[in-house]
Amino acid sequence: MVVHTIEVNNIRLYAFHGCLPEEGEIGGEYSVDVKLITDFTKATETDDLSDTVDYVLINRIVVEEMAVRSKLIEEVGQRIVNRIKKEATGIKTLVVKIIKHTPPINGDVSNVAIIIEETLV
């Protein structure tokens, strides 16, 4: 069995998510990783972008959804998952990870993250 994986990693963004009012005004640094399990056998034969998942589409969805303010990155992550499922085809498993760098919490924490993994087939 062959497993085909496409990853779009470390999409770096500045966004305004968080429960604190200051987070909506000041913002913070985020990074997003997207992992897709798919079958790009046809693309290996045709060398045609339409036979695989377009990385540009994935990046665009992440950038657009991260630009919409939310209190919780959990909600943003689910929006990203929902759009990818709607706009991309041939995905068997989808994993989205959002990392919030230097979160405003008491303690020495470099980041917090959420991961959503969905099997679509």
Q: Is 35 a known active-site residue?
A: no
Distance in angstroms (rounded) separating the CA atoms of residues 107 and 48: 49
Determine which one of 35, 42, 86, 100 is catalytic. 100
Strand partners, 33: 97
The answer to whether 93 and 36 have CB atoms below 8 angstroms apart is: yes
69: left (phi over 0), alpha (psi -120 to 50) or beta: beta
The residues assigned a catalytic role are: 100
